[in-house]
């Protein structure tokens, strides 16, 4: 997201989608931001054959991408658009099978130097039922963070 949304741009759903669209990989997987604001963000990807691994599940790299970007977009609601991922961990709970991958992230804690966010990744099946397939937590840093340790 860093640099994708101009500092002067209002942070709203339209600006968030523009930031996402500025990322070539996001365009490749056809990701879209469906909710943005108030310390949270939701990203969705329609599941198609190109995003699957050899057993027919959504590839773990796609799940990681979705978690990373959604954590960062949620953090942008607290820190602004000039940010980068400091790190994140993901736990795969069950194979991701369905028609849509949905990643929902929210800010757990934010200060001047970092935001800690968590993300639930779910898949939606043809009947519209949603089931959790992975969870992630990460730290997002502003590019202009003051020197020194975290808050």
pLDDT band for 146, please (50, 70, 90 cuts): low
Alpha carbons 125 and 17: distance in angstroms, whole number: 24
Query: In this predicted model, what pLDDT tens digit does every residue of 55-67 receive, in sequence order?
Result: 999 999 999 999 9
Mean pLDDT of 91-118: 97
What pLDDT, on the 0 to 100 scale, is given for residue 6? Answer: 34
pLDDT band for 34, please (50, 70, 90 cuts): very high
What pLDDT, on the 0 to 100 scale, is given for residue 107? Answer: 98
Mean pLDDT of 127-139: 97
Mean pLDDT of 35-52: 97
Query: Tokens representing 130?
Result: 């949603």
What pLDDT, on the 0 to 100 scale, is given for residue 2? Answer: 40
pLDDT for 138 beyond 90 = yes
What pLDDT, on the 0 to 100 scale, is given for residue 147? Answer: 54
pLDDT for 35 beyond 60 = yes
What pLDDT, on the 0 to 100 scale, is given for residue 119? Answer: 98
Query: In this predicted model, what pLDDT tens digit does every residue of 73-84 receive, in sequence order?
Result: 999 999 999 999
pLDDT for 85 beyond 90 = yes
**How, if at all, do strands 40-46 and 100-110 pair?**
antiparallel
Mean pLDDT of 143-151: 60
């Amino acid at each position: 997201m860093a640099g994708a949304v101009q500092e002067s741009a209002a942070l709203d759903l339209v600006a968030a989608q523009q930031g996402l669209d500025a990322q070539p990989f996001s365009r490749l997987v056809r990701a879209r931001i469906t909710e943005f604001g108030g310390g949270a963000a939701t990203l969705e990807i329609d599941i198609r054959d190109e995003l699957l691994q050899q057993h027919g599940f959504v590839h773990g790299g796609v799940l990681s991408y979705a978690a990373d970007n959604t954590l960062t977009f949620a953090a942008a609601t607290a820190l602004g658009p000039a940010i980068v991922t400091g790190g994140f961990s993901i736990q795969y709970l069950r194979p991701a099978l369905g028609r849509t991958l949905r990643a929902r992230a929210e800010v757990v804690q934010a200060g001047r130097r970092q935001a800690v966010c968590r993300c639930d990744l779910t898949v939606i099946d043809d009947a519209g039922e949603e089931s959790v397939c992975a969870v992630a937590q990460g730290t997002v840093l502003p590019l202009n963070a003051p020197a020194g340790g975290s808050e």
